[in-house]
């Protein structure tokens, strides 16, 4: 049923918008060692574990653009990187890997690590920032750990959502 697919996509869109508002509201998510998580990365990754590659890419693009809007990064930086990685994860999940908690955590560690490391390289290291090593250790590593720690919540939420709606499709 097409109707249930659109309901699922609407639910994913609302989820990303709510997480964006939670992420950008000051003081709502407590900071850990001076860093706050990027809630949209694990949400987009967990959505891509249960959708096809085109839908995964679309939600990765939406999540990445919301990160760019809120984080003050170059518009399209996270959108491009997250859409490509979500496309790949959607493709792998549909054809190559088994979708379970372990694979979602491995994907979260790898993708979050690469995204945050590239952000540090492009915005600190290449700009010849004087305290680039300090920014990495004091800001990016705690943000990485905090973001990966959110992945189980988003994975089980999106798994339950996908399974619940797919049961109604049958």
pLDDT digits (tens, 9 = 90+) for 102-115: 999 999 999 999 99
Residue 169 has a pLDDT of 64
Residue 170 has a pLDDT of 61
Do residues 111 and 41 touch, judged by C-beta distance below 8 A? Answer: yes
**0.75 exceeded by pTM:** yes
| CATH code of domain 2-169 | 1.10.1760
Summarize pLDDT for 87-142 with one digit per residue, the tens: 999 999 988 888 899 999 999 999 999 999 999 999 899 988 889 899 999 999 99
List Cβ neighbours of 80 (8 Å cut-off, separation of 6 or more).
64
């Amino acid at each position: 049923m097409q109707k249930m697919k659109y309901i699922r996509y609407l639910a994913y869109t609302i989820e990303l918008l709510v997480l964006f508002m939670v992420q950008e509201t000051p003081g709502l998510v407590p900071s850990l060692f001076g860093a706050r998580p990027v809630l949209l990365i694990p949400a987009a990754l967990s959505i891509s574990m249960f959708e096809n590659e085109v839908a995964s890419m679309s939600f990765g693009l939406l999540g990445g653009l919301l990160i760019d809007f809120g984080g003050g990064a170059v518009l399209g930086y996270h959108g491009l990187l997250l859409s490509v990685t979500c496309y790949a994860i959607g493709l792998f999940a549909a054809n190559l890997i088994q979708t379970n908690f372990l694979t979602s955590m491995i994907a979260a560690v790898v993708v979050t690590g690469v995204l945050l490391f590239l952000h540090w390289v492009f915005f600190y290291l290449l700009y010849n920032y004087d305290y680039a090593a300090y920014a990495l250790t004091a800001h990016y590593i705690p943000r990485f750990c905090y973001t990966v720690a959110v992945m189980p919540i988003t994975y089980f939420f999106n798994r339950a959502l996908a399974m619940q709606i797919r049961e109604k499709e049958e």
